[in-house]
């Protein structure tokens, strides 16, 4: 019998590329970046439509398009901004702990 036992799987540190938490965090970061870009695009579209309607006259169609694009932008941006900050904070915490 030897005194050395194989290390348990929980004690073995994962490489950053194979750590399942970091892989999942990277996927979340990718999707939040995409949602940020699309959300800001819809907000910019809402602003452009608003100024077009302001210049050419408000109609119910233009008002509806402005509202719909603004709502879509806000629905995309709210969770993506929060999740983006969460991913950045988790990465920063890992760096501070030396993981």
> If we measure between CA atoms, which residue out of 69, 4, 72, 77 comes closest to residue 35?
77
Task: Judge whether 87 lies within some domain.
Answer: yes
Please say if the pLDDT value at position 16 is more than 70: no
Residue 12 has what pLDDT? 53
Task: Judge whether 60 lies within some domain.
Answer: yes
Task: Judge whether 30 lies within some domain.
Answer: no
Number of domains in the chain: 1
Task: Judge whether 5 lies within some domain.
Answer: no
Task: Judge whether 62 lies within some domain.
Answer: yes
Task: Judge whether 40 lies within some domain.
Answer: yes
Please say if the pLDDT value at position 9 is more than 60: no
> If we measure between CA atoms, which residue out of 97, 86, 94 comes closest to residue 19?
94
Q: What is the dihedral of CA 66, 71, 72, 73, to 10 degrees?
A: 90
Task: Judge whether 63 lies within some domain.
Answer: yes
Cβ neighbours for 42, distance < 8 A, ≥ 6 positions apart:
69, 70, 72, 73, 76
Domain with 77, as residue range(s), is 36-93
- For the entire predicted model, the pTM comes to 0.72
Question: What pLDDT, in 10s, does the model give residues 70-86?
Answer: 999 999 999 999 999 99
Task: Judge whether 3 lies within some domain.
Answer: no
Q: What distance in Å separates the CA atoms of residue 11 and residue 13, rounded to the nearest whole number?
A: 6
Structural contact between residues 76 and 37, judged by C-beta atoms closer than 8 angstroms: no
Inter-helix orientation angle 20-56/60-97, to 10°:
150
């Amino acid at each position: 019998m030897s005194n050395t036992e194989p290390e348990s799987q929980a004690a073995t540190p994962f490489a950053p590329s194979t750590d399942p938490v970091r892989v999942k965090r990277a996927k979340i970061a990718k999707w939040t970046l995409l949602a940020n870009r699309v959300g800001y695009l819809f907000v910019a579209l809402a602003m452009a439509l608003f100024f077009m309607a302001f210049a050419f006259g408000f109609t119910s169609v233009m008002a509806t398009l402005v509202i719909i694009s603004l709502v879509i932008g806000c629905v995309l941006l709210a969770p993506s901004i929060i999740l983006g900050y969460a991913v950045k904070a988790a990465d920063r915490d890992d760096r501070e702990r030396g993981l």
